[in-house]
């Protein structure tokens, strides 16, 4: 119980003052840079071009993005393909593994520990490891895929325009499915027993129980894991950069790589700010959609 | 008569005065040259630390081994940071723009020079050269360095901004032991109708690539640096120049001018370059210079076009299985004659440097013959021609090719937007190699993008419909 002078201070409304340090940090580290980015997006600021010192250019950068930059849109759609495919596969495999482990968790604790290994590796290490595995001449995986006839004698996944994006997706699936499994398994373990008992008494079979009980109860967790992974996949940079540098051509130029190229290869911060804002906008829309899905579910449960 | 004698006497006196003055001047110069010492010049800076950054390759590794000698003589500590090519460039850009002054001098590729100069990030070295306390009177860069190279890579619009760190070009690497193999010679002559020897033109280069491609044995005729990386652009420039093409129709790196990167010669060169994929290892589109060099070191390819500052690594038996088996020559000849592309890294002094004078003393010292000889013998690519005359250097298998290429090497753009031009071309080339576009479509796209970037300063000589 708060007594004496502390009580008096709180009664006089000094409480919010204690939030000030956090608010200052928040403003300095998040809001401030974001506002600065928006301001820069209306300028021609460039570290490379003389006299481009941050002069106001109105909506020129936005116009360029919308009308005159097909590379941005190529990169945008490549990213959408990457995120959608990676997320769907990770969810399907993750859910299957979580269900499998859920029914035999006591016996499979070691397996659970083992499947978590890929997500514990640093992305750069993952990139380098897969670069060796998929090397065209002496990569171990390439060799065996050729041996079993999946790859032709001259197929090298990182040099093939058609194979390279699916390869990136599969590597992402390998790295992040364990995370999806872990979160979904935690969700499954936290579900109440009563609805299952009621369903079984009502005569529901395992498939009916899965679709009518497990999935609806698990929906907030599914939304959460898809949200986290979606944001993460949208920001993917390290692995792809190490493995392909965005190529061949622009086959794996994800938005993060494109943004990096504009900002830190061309040092064109004015236009780079618009590109970064667009990435932010997409992630924001993604977040809102998932939050909405979660809230809808919570509303439904009430 | 007396008057005539008087004039004669006056002339004689004048001549004596003139001779005396000249002698005094020479003596003064000699005295200055004799009196100047690095130790005394560095005395005001004793105890300071200077820091630099450059690309982690044998020339810089050799300099790193030498720096203690400089410290011993001057009391100036030197820290050398070594990074991969692009990282070394990015770190410098961040430092220069944030003006933190982390680096007292920098070692950078010459395509970046325009950006640095036009944004006042580097200072001309004139102020140091004109300071008798700093300038070593025994060092005459205009005579001792490759003058054209120096003016191309370290000067901008008539002003010197530094000294060359390396004089690098690209030339032909091939397996001489295979060329000398009688069985190969016989088989090759039977198929192509001429002797197997060092390829001198692109037809021969192609024929040999085809002849030596044996995928069943894991051996290929060539390898190209096909990854979407700056290495791709550098390599293709050799083909472009040799086929008679260029990126711009200009004579100086800092000049803007008509875009000719989509000329018929350029398209032909890219078609040819693309045609080499079928004689290259399957992963060639994911190789940069390191990938191709490793393929040669592991004896998996017959020929390639490679940098001279990487040659040391292929001739080092500790790192390479083909050391002593290699041959080196000029880039094969095309319609454009015998050419190569000159690239070089320069010592430059940032505006924000806190120890400009000490940095200048180090640069000057590093370019002395002894230091250059040590660097050259340890994998350097010296900008001093006299180093190549040294008997030890002459023994290196690649010295002749390096010297020949230096004589015909062409410069490239250095204006501020040139790195962006490079980026556009890297993407265009990668698009063509990956089969997304034809050579013509790719280069037309590049020409349009470069024109958008540079505007009226760079009209398109070959307009795209």
Task: Answer whether A56's CB lies under 8 Å from A38's CB.
Answer: no
Would an 8 Å CB–CB cutoff place A263 in contact with chain B? no
Number of A/B CB contacts below 8 angstroms equals: 95
By C-alpha distance, which of B381, B391, B385 is closest to B58?
A: B381
Whole-number Cα distances in Å, B257 to B247, B251, B412, B453: 10, 9, 12, 13
- Chain A, nearest residue to B425 by Cα: A249
Residue A301: per-residue pLDDT: 45
Out of A48, A245, A265, closest to residue B416 by CB: A48
Phi-psi label, residue B218: left if phi above 0, alpha if psi -120 to 50, beta otherwise: left
Residue B4: per-residue pLDDT: 56
Would an 8 Å CB–CB cutoff place A250 in contact with chain B? yes
- Mean pLDDT per 10-residue segment, chain A (302 residues): 70 79 91 95 92 93 93 94 96 94 76 82 92 91 92 90 96 95 92 91 90 91 90 92 92 94 92 93 83 64 42
Task: Answer whether B332's CB lies under 8 Å from B205's CB.
Answer: yes
CA of B123 vs chain A CAs: smallest distance (Å): 16
What CATH class is the domain A71-301? mainly alpha
Residue B24: per-residue pLDDT: 62
A contacts of B300 (beta carbons < 8 Å): 137
Does residue B82 sit in helix, strand or coil?
strand
Angle between helices B58-74 and B369-377 (to 10 degrees): 150
pTM of the model: 0.86
CA of A186 vs chain B CAs: smallest distance (Å): 41
CB distance B286–A248 less than 8 Å?
A: yes
Residue B28: per-residue pLDDT: 54
Q: Provide the residue ranges of all domains of chain B, joining segments of one domain with +.
A: 39-167+344-396, 169-342+414-457
DSSP B209-265: HHHH-BGGGTBEEE----SSSHHHHHHHHHHHHHTT--SBS-SSTT----B-TTSHH
Would an 8 Å CB–CB cutoff place B118 in contact with chain A? yes
Cα of first residue to Cα of last residue in chain B, in angstroms, is 88
A78-106 pLDDT, tens digit each: 999 999 999 999 999 999 999 988 887 66
Could you tell me the fold of the domain covering B169-342+414-457?
D-Maltodextrin-Binding Protein; domain 2 (3.40.190)
Beta carbons within 10 angstroms of residue B347's beta carbon: 24
Task: Answer whether B245's CB lies under 8 Å from B265's CB.
Answer: yes
Residue B9: per-residue pLDDT: 62
CA of A85 vs chain B CAs: smallest distance (Å): 22
Residue B27: per-residue pLDDT: 57
Would an 8 Å CB–CB cutoff place A259 in contact with chain B? no
CB distance B282–A247 less than 8 Å?
A: no
Would an 8 Å CB–CB cutoff place A154 in contact with chain B? yes
Residues facing residue B391 across a β-bridge: none
Does residue B202 sit in helix, strand or coil?
helix
Identify the H or E element spanning B155. Answer: strand B155-156
CB distance B431–A155 less than 8 Å?
A: no
d(CA A292, CA A250): 34
B contacts of A250 (beta carbons < 8 Å): 427, 430-431, 436
Q: Provide the residue ranges of all domains of chain A, joining segments of one domain with +.
A: 71-301
Handedness of CA A24, A26, A27, A32 (dihedral sign): positive
- Chain A, nearest residue to B86 by Cα: A265
Q: Tell me, what's the ipTM?
A: 0.84
- Mean pLDDT per 10-residue segment, chain B (465 residues): 56 68 60 77 96 94 96 97 93 90 94 92 96 94 92 93 93 97 97 96 98 95 96 96 96 93 98 97 94 96 93 91 96 92 90 96 97 93 94 92 87 89 96 96 97 96 92
CB distance B427–A137 less than 8 Å?
A: no
Could you tell me the fold of the domain covering B39-167+344-396?
D-Maltodextrin-Binding Protein; domain 2 (3.40.190)
Residue B355: per-residue pLDDT: 96
CA of B354 vs chain A CAs: smallest distance (Å): 21
């Amino acid at each position: 119980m708060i007594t004496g002078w502390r009580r008096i201070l709180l009664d006089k409304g000094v409480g919010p003052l204690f939030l000030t340090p956090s608010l200052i940090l928040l403003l300095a580290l998040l809001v401030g840079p974001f506002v600065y980015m928006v301001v820069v997006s209306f300028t021609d600021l460039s570290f490379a071009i003389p006299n481009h010192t941050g002069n106001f250019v109105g909506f020129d950068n936005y116009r360029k993005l919308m009308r005159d930059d097909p590379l941005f849109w190529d990169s945008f759609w490549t990213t959408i393909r990457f995120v959608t495919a990676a997320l769907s596969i990770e969810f399907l495999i993750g859910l299957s593994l979580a269900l499998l482990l859920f029914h035999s968790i006591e016996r499979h604790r070691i397996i659970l520990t083992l499947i978590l290994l890929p997500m514990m590796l640093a992305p750069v290490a993952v990139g380098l490891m897969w670069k060796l595995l998929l090397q065209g001449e002496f990569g171990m995986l390439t060799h065996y895929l050729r041996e079993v006839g999946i790859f032709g004698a001259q197929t090298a996944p990182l040099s093939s325009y058609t194979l390279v994006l699916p390869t990136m997706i599969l590597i992402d699936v390998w790295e992040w499915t364990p995370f999806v499994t872990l979160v979904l398994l935690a969700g499954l373990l936290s579900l109440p027993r009563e609805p299952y008992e009621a369903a079984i008494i009502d005569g529901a079979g395992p498939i009916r129980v899965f679709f009518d009980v497990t999935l609806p109860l698990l929906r907030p967790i599914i939304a959460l894991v898809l949200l986290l992974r979606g944001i993460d996949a949208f920001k993917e940079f390290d692995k792809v950069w190490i493995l392909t540098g965005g190529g061949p051509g622009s086959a794996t130029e994800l938005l993060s790589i494109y943004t990096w190229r504009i900002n830190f290869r061309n040092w064109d911060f004015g236009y780079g700010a618009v590109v970064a804002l667009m990435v932010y906008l997409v992630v924001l829309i993604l977040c809102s959609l998932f939050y909405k899905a979660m809230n809808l579910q919570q509303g439904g449960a009430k | 008569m007396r008057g005539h004698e008087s004039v004669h006497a006056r002339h004689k006196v004048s001549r004596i005065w003139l001779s005396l003055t000249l002698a005094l001047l020479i003596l003064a110069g000699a005295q200055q040259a004799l009196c100047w010492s690095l130790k005394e010049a560095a005395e005001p800076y004793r105890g300071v630390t200077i820091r630099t950054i450059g690309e982690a390759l044998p020339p810089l590794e050799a300099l790193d081994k030498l720096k203690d000698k400089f410290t011993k003589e001057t009391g100036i500590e030197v820290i050398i940071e070594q990074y991969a090519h692009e990282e070394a460039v990015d770190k410098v850009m961040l430092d220069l723009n944030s003006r933190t002054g982390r680096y007292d001098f920098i070692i950078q590729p010459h395509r970046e020079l325009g950006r640095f100069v036009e944004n006042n990030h580097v200072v001309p070295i004139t102020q140091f050269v004109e300071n008798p306390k700093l300038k070593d009177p025994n060092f005459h860069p205009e005579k001792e360095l490759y003058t054209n190279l120096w003016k191309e890579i370290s000067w901008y619009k008539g002003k010197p901004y530094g000294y060359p760190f390396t004089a690098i070009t690209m030339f032909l690497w091939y397996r001489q032991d295979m060329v000398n193999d009688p069985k190969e010679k016989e088989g090759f002559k039977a198929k192509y109708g001429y002797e197997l020897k060092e390829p001198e033109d692109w037809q021969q280069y192609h024929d040999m690539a085809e002849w030596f491609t044996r995928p069943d044995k894991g051996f290929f005729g060539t390898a190209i640096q096909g990854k979407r990386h700056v290495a791709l652009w550098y390599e293709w420039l050799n083909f472009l120049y040799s086929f008679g093409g260029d990126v711009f129709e200009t004579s100086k790196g800092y000049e803007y001018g008509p875009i000719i990167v989509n000329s018929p010669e350029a398209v032909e060169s890219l078609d040819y370059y693309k045609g080499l994929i079928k004689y290259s290892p399957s992963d060639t589109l994911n190789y940069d210079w390191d990938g191709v060099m490793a393929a040669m070191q592991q004896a998996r390819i017959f020929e390639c076009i490679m940098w001279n500052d990487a040659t040391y690594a292929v001739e080092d038996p500790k790192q390479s299985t083909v050391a002593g088996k290699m041959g080196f020559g000029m880039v094969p000849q095309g319609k454009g004659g015998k050419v190569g592309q000159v690239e070089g890294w320069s010592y430059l002094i940032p505006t924000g440097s806190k120890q400009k004078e000490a940095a200048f003393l180090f640069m000057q010292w590093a370019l002395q013959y002894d230091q250059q000889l040590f660097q050259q013998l340890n994998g350097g690519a010296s900008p001093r021609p006299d180093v190549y005359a040294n008997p030890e250097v002459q023994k290196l298998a690649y010295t002749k090719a390096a010297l020949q290429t230096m004589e015909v090497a062409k410069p490239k753009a250095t204006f501020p937007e040139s790195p962006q031009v490079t980026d556009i071309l890297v993407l265009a080339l990668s698009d063509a190699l990956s089969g997304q576009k034809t050579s013509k479509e790719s280069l037309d796209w590049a020409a349009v993008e470069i024109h958008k970037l540079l505007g009226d300063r760079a009209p398109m000589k070959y307009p795209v419909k």
